[in-house]
Structure 1
Amino acid sequence: MERSQEVLAAAFDPDRGTPDRVDRSVKNLTLTSMLRFYLERAWRHGTMETAPYQSAHEMLDRLDDGYALRFTRSGLIFDLARTGTDRELDDQVEFHRIGRNLITELIDAIPTVRPRLRPDGLVPEADEDAAQGAPPPNTPTLVLTDLTVPRLADAAFRAPDMPSARPVSPPVPESEPDPSPAKAPDTARDAAPGPDSVENPPPDPKPSAAPTVPEPPRRSPQSTAEEPGNQTEIETPHAPTMSDAPARSFHDEPTLGSDDSGPDAAPDVYLGVTHPSPQYGVLGHTAGRTIVLDLYETHTISLFGVQGGGKSYTLGSIMEMASLPAPPVNHLPHPLATVVFHYSQTQDYAPEFTSMVHANDDAAQLKSLKDRYGAEPKALADVLLLVPADQLDERRTQYPGIDVQPLKFSAAELQAAHWRFLMGAVGNQSTYIRQLTRIMRAHRTNLTLDVIRRGVADSGLPDHLKQLAQERLNLAAEYIDDSAHLTQLVRPGRLIIVDLRDEFIEKDEALGLFVVLMQLFAEAKDGDRHFNKLVVFDEAHKYIDSPDLVAGLVESVREMRHKGMSILVASQDPPSVPVSLIELSDHIILHKFTSPAWLKHLHKAN
């Protein structure tokens, strides 16, 4: 579409370059011939009234006097899977969807039987269908047929009415054949009388029809030529039409002849399940279908795209639909708890989703939210930010509207598997792993920080492994507080952001801590009741790096699905995310890609 507009503008737009083309007159003649073809066809089929027909002819005759060229973009989608009609705007293109019932009606209305002549050879006989109200076989157009196909009161391809200062008499174009004496008058062309014919209006071609919206005049081409302001305008008689009302966008107009496809209609496509879900969130609309994401079952989702490609917007939408009941854009009788893991070795890269405590205030997005989804903006009222204890005061000053708490958990909440991750006892360090396992087995009923320290000091580990264990214990000590209870912070509808920005924390240390937190969050209950959670690994390429820890992460993700926890991995660098993790995904959401290597990497997992 972009290329078509570029080619047409290069040939026919007089304002495209200075100085103008030397062959402008030749191009004007070409444009006139091209547009006149559509003009004559519209007249021949009775879809154009007399006054605009003659005005358009006169305008095409005077293109050499100057004109301005503009374009509109429209598309028709014939959808056999749905009924009714609807409209949507996608990337400045207005799409009109025509459903199966209207397609069938249009096809059935096409005359397919040739007329039979009477014995005298003068008047064609109407067949039985015509006698029952169907159009006769020699009808040249469907415009007079009483159909339920909606007449659009507002669309991008509609031209505004231009009031005329002079009467216009019906022309007799050369291409119009002489009417037969037996042929009925073409009432569609005379339906909008000029000022001289008001006293004797033609009969209504559809006396039995009672449309709720008056049929406006139509125009055929989607690109229009306009006279500049300093030229004499070619005007048409102003007949009362829907255009007399104030101009409105097509999103402001109700969809005509549509089936029940409003905000309260049942979704068409459920992602993640093969049956309607009792809990879901709307991802968007496409081709007249409402696409929703299941929030009742547990899922593993991979979300990839370049920076600035809309990845974070999609991620934010999924987090909101999982945590905040906001009908009709979601149906959430049992909100999830959402946990976001954010890591950076610089203080500059702050977590994006702290802004969810404020409702959306973008005017264009609010209008789309209201018009297309019938919803109002809302803010997340329950947001918790967990940060390292030494950054607590700084973060509370930085985020005054958010509850900021230190990232702490008690040793009593940790199991042996958690200690292994914190101690880095994964991979192929067999001696280190065996000694730590022996220490934890000996003190399984009293696994505390001090007990493990003494066990490491008294063990037979080499000095370099003892030093490694003590460094890991020192890291864990920063987050262990026996008076804290991390699982009590998790509740339905709450968004928890773990902000781990620290230049002194390495990638594998951050990933190990995140895996432990994920496993702790999975055990949280609402009273005695289990509830589902959503864990988000944001910018996963920054810390999902160590092959040893990734194996443990993959195993943990497999287990999380049995504990009611969905996992979402978001990254702008897909090759950095292990294939073994992508393989677990039952959803892969792709935004803009710039590298063929990314697609090849994803192909390895599918």
Structure 2
Amino acid sequence: MAPKTPDGSAPKPAHVSSKEIVQEQLKHLQISPQTQQQDEILSSPLLTVPLVERRLYHNVACPSSVFICGSQGSGKSNTLACLLENCLLENCLIPSKLGQLPNPLTGIVFHYDSFVSDSGGLPCEAAFLASSEKVSVRVLCAPTNIRTIQACKLKVLRGIDDLEPVLTTQQRMYSGIPGVRIEPLRLTDKDLNTRRMNDLMAIAEGGSMPLYLHVVNRILRDMRIEQQRTGSGFSYQTFKRHLDKADLTPMQRGPLGQRLDTLESFMAEGKGENEGKGKGKGGKAGSTVGWEPKAGQLTVVDLSCPCVTAELACSLFNICLSLFLEQKSSVGRVVAMDEAHKYMRDSAESQALTNSLLETIRLQRHLGVRVLISTQEPTVSTKLLDLCSVTVVHRFTSPDWLRTLRGHLTGISSMSVTAAADGDKQSTAVKPIAIGGKGEDAVLELFAIIVSLHTGQALVFAPSAVLELGAKVKDREAPILRLAHRALKVKVRSRLTKDGGKTVMA
């Protein structure tokens, strides 16, 4: 039994203040109190402990963006999970040797898998953070999938084995993760605005559009002018009335009706202008989603469903991202894209989501947000590669992927890989190892290093990462030595929470 205090309550874990943490880290980095470079160091996404050990620290306090890529089974999902643990697990749950987090962040993970049906489906691995009691995990899923998942949770909580014959694998997706709260993703009028409706209608900027989308754009513009005049918000019912009056042919109303029917399947029933006047379709009032930020809470938006396409998933992810970021809160936020290659493609909806991510990364310091993108293919968006402050490259074997990285990572054509020297047993310091050759020879040698990486190993590109302080020259302060054009060969730690992505062996 755990020890208790005289009043019968459990003792509180030892608390280490954030000030003490910063002071200890700066002490290891050999920075004097008089230095003027502390701000640069505190804003670095990665920190090392030079001349002491080989550990690399993730600076959660600083807004940053991380792009993770690699082949299946190379360890990218574990890397994403570890970064989420760094952001969400309280310091009382993490051993002091791994770091301290007195103020957990709030996070959202976007997940979509086309491999889902009545006979197959896998949960989002990030949901396994619920194996820690201090992390609250909720899963927002498509309404077309909520009943089966809720039946699955009923079986887990009550132990009803009789449900097994009627449960599909889809129903069992989250059955192995107790503590996960399942909710349907429902939208209301207040969740919609002109921009989000444009995204849902796939109205691309500067691109060619069918005639009915021009009509939709005009209606949204007129409604926007009226909203500015009256100070009212967007009304979906008003939008529908304007569409009914529009001069559209039956051929034009066909695809438009399909888009609206899809949107309405995610609208909360009985909400909007008719709220309080009756119930929606089916006679049941819908429940809405609360987006208020809560420290230590992870929201997984899992739209894996046979009825949801990758394009629709991108549109809904875009809305959820906007709703998540627009909430005013002092709690830090983290946004993660899980298996982004499965839904971020060449569609207009995918491009809109990519643009939102780019805008978020550009404003990450002002929004207080950390962005994590995990994908097999680095080709999903080269613009994201350009903007992300950290790129983690796990093992892959595709020359095309290397060509993509070469064109968008700092100095990859003539670089040195920083790693611990295997032959130096006298020192545990991080030391650079230069790649021989120039031009194509250096790239081929780099490719050989990437191909030979073991599971969990990676090359980290982070130009602003602080390695150590340089030699002090006369009366000048010691310069900060950054990773710059080099890379860091690292081994990512194992998860503290349950690992839900283990390879299934025969």
TM > 0.5? yes
1:456 to 243, 246, 258: 243
- Confirm or deny that 1:495 pairs with 2:249: no
Alpha-carbon contact 1:392-1:405 (below 8 Å) kept: yes
Alpha-carbon contact 1:533-1:564 (below 8 Å) kept: yes
Deviation, 1:597, is: 1.5
SS at match of 1:443: helix
**1:342 is aligned with what amino acid?**
H
Matches within 5 A, 1:54-203: none
Deviation, 1:450, is: 2.6
Q: Which residue of 1 aligns with 2:462?
A: none
SS at match of 1:566: strand
**1:511 and 1:477 mapped to 2: Cα distance?**
16
2:253 to 458, 466, 469: 466
**2:383 and 2:22 mapped to 1: Cα distance?**
39
Q: Which residue of 1 aligns with 2:372?
A: 568
Q: Which residue of 1 aligns with 2:77?
A: 312
SS at match of 1:535: strand
Q: Alpha carbons of 1:573 and 1:451: their partners in 2 closer, same or farther (altered >3 Å)?
A: same
1:335 to 90, 104, 116: 104
Deviation, 1:280, is: 8.0
Q: Which residue of 1 aligns with 2:131?
A: 358
Q: Alpha carbons of 1:263 and 1:451: their partners in 2 closer, same or farther (altered >3 Å)?
A: closer
Q: Which residue of 2 aligns with 1:220?
A: none
Alpha-carbon contact 1:410-1:484 (below 8 Å) kept: no
Q: Alpha carbons of 1:286 and 1:438: their partners in 2 closer, same or farther (altered >3 Å)?
A: farther
Q: Which residue of 2 aligns with 1:31?
A: none
1:512 to 294, 315, 323: 315
Deviation, 1:464, is: 3.9
Matches within 5 A, 1:549-588: 549-561=349-361, 562=363, 563-575=367-379, 577-588=380-391
Q: Which residue of 1 aligns with 2:215?
A: 435
SS at match of 2:374: strand
Deviation, 1:287, is: 7.8
Deviation, 1:578, is: 1.9
Q: Which residue of 1 aligns with 2:479?
A: none
Matches within 5 A, 1:257-276: 265-266=24-25, 275-276=40-41
**1:536 is aligned with what amino acid?**
A
The one-character-per-residue Cα deviations of 1:272-325 (angstroms, maximum 9, x if unpaired) are: x97343998999999814322222333222100111111111110001111122
**1:583 is aligned with what amino acid?**
D
**2:46 and 2:100 mapped to 1: Cα distance?**
6
Alpha-carbon contact 2:135-2:296 (below 8 Å) kept: no
Deviation, 1:429, is: 3.4
Q: Alpha carbons of 1:477 and 1:293: their partners in 2 closer, same or farther (altered >3 Å)?
A: same
Deviation, 1:542, is: 0.7
Q: Which residue of 2 aligns with 1:486?
A: 289
With CA pairs under 8 Å and 6+ residues apart, which has the higher RCO, 1 or 2? 2
Q: Which residue of 1 aligns with 2:483?
A: none
**2:352 and 2:43 mapped to 1: Cα distance?**
33
Alpha-carbon contact 2:114-2:342 (below 8 Å) kept: no
2:66 to 297, 301, 319: 301
**2:50 and 2:82 mapped to 1: Cα distance?**
14
**1:429 is aligned with what amino acid?**
S
- Confirm or deny that 1:393 pairs with 2:120: no
Instruction: Give unpaired runs (5+ residues) of structure 2.
Output: 1-20, 30-37, 153-171, 228-232, 272-285, 410-506
Q: Alpha carbons of 1:401 and 1:493: their partners in 2 closer, same or farther (altered >3 Å)?
A: closer
Using the size of structure 1 for normalisation, the TM-score is 0.48
Q: Alpha carbons of 1:501 and 1:544: their partners in 2 closer, same or farther (altered >3 Å)?
A: same
The one-character-per-residue Cα deviations of 1:476-528 (angstroms, maximum 9, x if unpaired) are: 11222136553535322211111111122221111111111101110123xxx
Deviation, 1:559, is: 2.9
SS at match of 2:355: helix
**2:248 and 2:208 mapped to 1: Cα distance?**
12
Which has the higher Rg, Structure 1 or Structure 2?
A: 1
**2:267 and 2:307 mapped to 1: Cα distance?**
18
**1:287 and 1:469 mapped to 2: Cα distance?**
63
Alpha-carbon contact 1:537-1:569 (below 8 Å) kept: yes
Q: Which residue of 2 aligns with 1:323?
A: 88
Alpha-carbon contact 1:281-1:321 (below 8 Å) kept: no
Alpha-carbon contact 1:487-1:520 (below 8 Å) kept: no
Over the matched positions of the two proteins, sequence identity in percent amounts to 24
- Confirm or deny that 1:416 pairs with 2:194: yes
**2:108 is aligned with what amino acid?**
V
The one-character-per-residue Cα deviations of 1:15-45 (angstroms, maximum 9, x if unpaired) are: xxxxxxxxxxxxxxxxxxxxxxxxxxxxxxx
Q: Alpha carbons of 1:462 and 1:589: their partners in 2 closer, same or farther (altered >3 Å)?
A: farther
Instruction: Give unpaired runs (5+ residues) of structure 1.
Output: 1-261, 360-378
**2:294 is aligned with what amino acid?**
R
Residue correspondences, number: 319
Using the size of structure 2 for normalisation, the TM-score is 0.57
Deviation, 1:548, is: 2.5
Q: Alpha carbons of 1:403 and 1:333: their partners in 2 closer, same or farther (altered >3 Å)?
A: same
**2:300 is aligned with what amino acid?**
I
SS at match of 2:303: strand
Alpha-carbon contact 1:524-1:530 (below 8 Å) kept: no
SS at match of 2:301: strand
Alpha-carbon contact 1:322-1:335 (below 8 Å) kept: yes
Alpha-carbon contact 1:310-1:591 (below 8 Å) kept: yes
Q: Alpha carbons of 1:392 and 1:547: their partners in 2 closer, same or farther (altered >3 Å)?
A: closer
**1:286 and 1:414 mapped to 2: Cα distance?**
54
Alpha-carbon contact 1:453-1:473 (below 8 Å) kept: no
Q: Which residue of 2 aligns with 1:26?
A: none
Q: Alpha carbons of 1:280 and 1:304: their partners in 2 closer, same or farther (altered >3 Å)?
A: closer
Q: Alpha carbons of 1:461 and 1:545: their partners in 2 closer, same or farther (altered >3 Å)?
A: farther
RMSD in angstroms over aligned alpha carbons? 3.1
Alpha-carbon contact 1:278-1:331 (below 8 Å) kept: no
Q: Alpha carbons of 1:279 and 1:584: their partners in 2 closer, same or farther (altered >3 Å)?
A: closer
Q: Alpha carbons of 1:277 and 1:334: their partners in 2 closer, same or farther (altered >3 Å)?
A: farther
**1:452 and 1:477 mapped to 2: Cα distance?**
13
- Confirm or deny that 1:475 pairs with 2:262: yes
1:545 to 326, 342, 345: 345
Alpha-carbon contact 1:279-1:296 (below 8 Å) kept: no
1:590 to 382, 393, 397: 393
**2:109 is aligned with what amino acid?**
V
Q: Which residue of 2 aligns with 1:110?
A: none
2:333 to 533, 542, 553: 533
Alpha-carbon contact 1:280-1:331 (below 8 Å) kept: no
Alpha-carbon contact 1:280-1:330 (below 8 Å) kept: no
Deviation, 1:461, is: 4.2
**1:389 and 1:504 mapped to 2: Cα distance?**
10
Alpha-carbon contact 1:384-1:497 (below 8 Å) kept: yes
**2:358 and 2:128 mapped to 1: Cα distance?**
31
Alpha-carbon contact 1:383-1:402 (below 8 Å) kept: yes
**1:466 and 1:451 mapped to 2: Cα distance?**
17
Alpha-carbon contact 1:344-1:503 (below 8 Å) kept: no
Matches within 5 A, 1:219-298: 265-266=24-25, 275-277=40-42, 288-298=53-63
The one-character-per-residue Cα deviations of 1:76-122 (angstroms, maximum 9, x if unpaired) are: xxxxxxxxxxxxxxxxxxxxxxxxxxxxxxxxxxxxxxxxxxxxxxx
**2:249 and 2:102 mapped to 1: Cα distance?**
56
**2:126 is aligned with what amino acid?**
F
